[in-house]
Structures are given as structure tokens and as C-alpha cells.
Amino acid sequence: MTALSPSRLLAAAIAALLAGGSAAGLTACSGGSASSATGDHITVMAAFYPLQYAAERVGESQVDVVGLTPPGAEPHDIELSPQQVAQISEADLILYIGGFQPAVDEAVAQVGGDRAVDVSQGVRLLPGPGGQGVDPHIWLDPRNMVTISDAIAARLSDVAPGDAGGFAAAAARLDEDLQDLDGQWASGTEKCSSRDLVVSHEAFGYLADRYRFRQVGISGLSPEAEPSPAKVAEVSRFVQDNKVRTIYFETLVDPKVAQTVADETGATTAVLDPLEGLPPGSDGDYLSVMRANLRTVQDGQPCP
């Protein structure tokens, strides 16, 4: 099927809702992955993986969580099908980060209403590269995930007040895991030889800010943005001048830019996962991937 722009997909979804008289038919066409809350279950739409993980941990058996970004997909530029927009219109709760996924922002504005929660509210936001805009990659700081966890628990409690105690307890367990992860990162990177974190995609600003690194990106906030030859040369000079040993690239995009800088400077490359999604078939989760990232940084910086 020919891909439609987010605006045309929204228009098609709303037209189908009006023509069919009900969003339920559209939802059934999508394989039944979400509908409005049935029985005691709450339906949560999560824009991409870290929010899906947090909702599943906090909601436990009381929620049905559906991710809008499929495994292996790059979330920045996803397009939503009419069926997904219909699912959003029926969900009890929608979790997203404003400014990160334009198609999700537009769908939320059209059909989300007061059921939509921008989880970046309450988080100290960092400016994007060059001070332009806001960096949306808040989940790579475990302390920000604590804020997200607590916000989800509060909103789920609004939907199902009788289960508020269970949501609060589950959020407390997740928060404890996240605080332990934060402690591992803080102690594990305290004495790194280099504080310069050279990455293919500037997704690690919050992680760098939390653990006292300086992020140097080849591409900007969007991994699809092709860096200019001048930018590649600038980063290559930085790598050589500062004796950077490792260039980090990510799991869901082509590593050729990072490899180019490594080839020009004699540095090595390593995978640093921005956790925008899990590969298909992965048995990892937010905590395990972040611990793997810690080991990667300890080897690459290096950190005793």
C-alpha cells in the first residue's frame, strides 16, 4: 500500500470513523491489539519502547499496553496507519513525548484529548544541538525514567482509582530498579580516562549530562540527517586532537558515518544503544540494555 503522510492518514482515519460509525471495526482490522478498556483492563498506547516498558512495569496485569512503533523501526519518522489512529482514539491512556514523533503529536492533537500524557512534563529538558529546540531523548537518564514511572502511576490511578495502591507499589519497585541502575552508571563511569563521548547520532545528551560526559555528535538529533563533509571533518579533527579511542553508533541506523570517522582517525567503533526500540526477537529490556551500554562505555572511554 502506498504510504500516506501523517496528515492524510489522520484524515483517512477520521473519515473511516465517521463512515463506519464506530472505531471498533478499524481496531479489529489491526489484529485486535488494542481497544477501549475491556473488563478490568486499561488500554494504554505507548508511542515507543521506553514508554511501553514503563507502562508494562507500572500497570502490570491491569493494563494492556500497545506500542505504536514496531520492533526494529526507527521511531523519529514513523507514520501511523488509520487503524493506529483509531486505536489512539479509543485508548484509556496515551503516552508520548511531545516533539519527538510528529505523526504521534498530530494524532494526539486530533483524537487524544485529555487521555494523552506528554511524559516529558516535569523533566528538566536540555536544549538540542547548538541550542536549537529541545532534546527529546529524556529516557536515557534513569532518573528521568523515575519521573516518568511516577507520572504513569498517577494517571493510571486516575483511570482506575480502585487500583491506585497497586500502581503505586509497582512504580516504587520500578523506581528502585532505576535508582540502582543510576548508581551503577555513576560509580562505573566515575574514573573514565576520557569524558568525550563521540556518537553518530546526538541521542545521548541526557546520559552525558547525568554522568559528566561531553557528547560530540556526527549527526544531529535525527539519525536520518546526513552530516555534511565539513561536519565529518570537524569531528575527525576532534577525535584526533583529543585522542578519542571509540566512535559509538546505534542499533537501528546505518553505521557508515561512524565508520568513516573511525577509518579516518584510527579509532574503533562500538554499539551504544539509544533505546528508541528493541530489535525484533530481542529478549532484552530497558534495564538490561542500559547495563550493556554501561559496559560498552567502560570499555570505550575507558573506565577502570
Q: Tens digit of pLDDT for each residue in 17-66?
A: 544 444 333 333 333 334 344 456 899 999 999 999 999 999 999 999 99
Q: For the whole model, what pTM was predicted? A: 0.87
pLDDT computed for residue 236 by the predictor = 97
The pLDDT, as a whole number, for residue 15 is: 54
Q: Are residues 49 and 167 in the same domain?
A: yes
The string of pLDDT tens digits covering residues 236-245 is 999 999 999 9
Spans of the chain below 70 pLDDT? 1-40, 221-224
Give the C-alpha separation, 103 to 81, whole Å. 10
Mean pLDDT of the chain: 88
Cβ proximity of 75 and 69 under 8 Å? yes
pLDDT at 31: 32
Asked if residue 64 is part of any domain, the answer here is yes
Q: In the prediction, which pLDDT does 74 show? A: 87
Say if residue 141 is in the same domain as residue 198: no
How confident is the model at residue 12, as a pLDDT?
57
Residue 142 near residue 178 (C-beta atoms within 8 A): yes
If asked whether residues 269 and 121 sit together in one domain, one would say no
Number of structural domains in the chain: 2
pLDDT attached to residue 138: 98
CA distance 304 to 301: 9
CB 283 within 8 A of CB 292: no
Q: Does residue 224 fall inside a structural domain? A: yes
Cα–Cα distance for residue pair 233/240, rounded to 1 Å? 11
* Cβ proximity of 158 and 209 under 8 Å: no
Which residues 6+ apart lie within 8 Å of 215 measured at CB? 197, 199, 202, 204, 205, 208
Residue where a domain stops, chosen among 183, 217, 238: 183
Of 113, 109, 116, 138, which Cα lies nearest the Cα of 126? Answer: 138
Question: Which of 137, 164, 183 finishes a domain?
Answer: 183
Distances (CA, A) of 221 to 134, 247, 277: 9, 17, 16
Neighbours of 274 (CB within 10 A): 25
Residues 24 and 163 placed together within one structural domain of the fold:
yes
Q: Could you list the residue range(s) of the whole structural domain that residue 41 is in? A: 6-183
> Is residue 110 a part of any domain in this protein?
yes
The pLDDT, as a whole number, for residue 177 is: 98
Which of residues 183, 208, 229 is at a domain's end?
Answer: 183
Based on the domain organization, do 129 and 197 belong to the same domain? no
> What is the model's pLDDT at position 253?
73
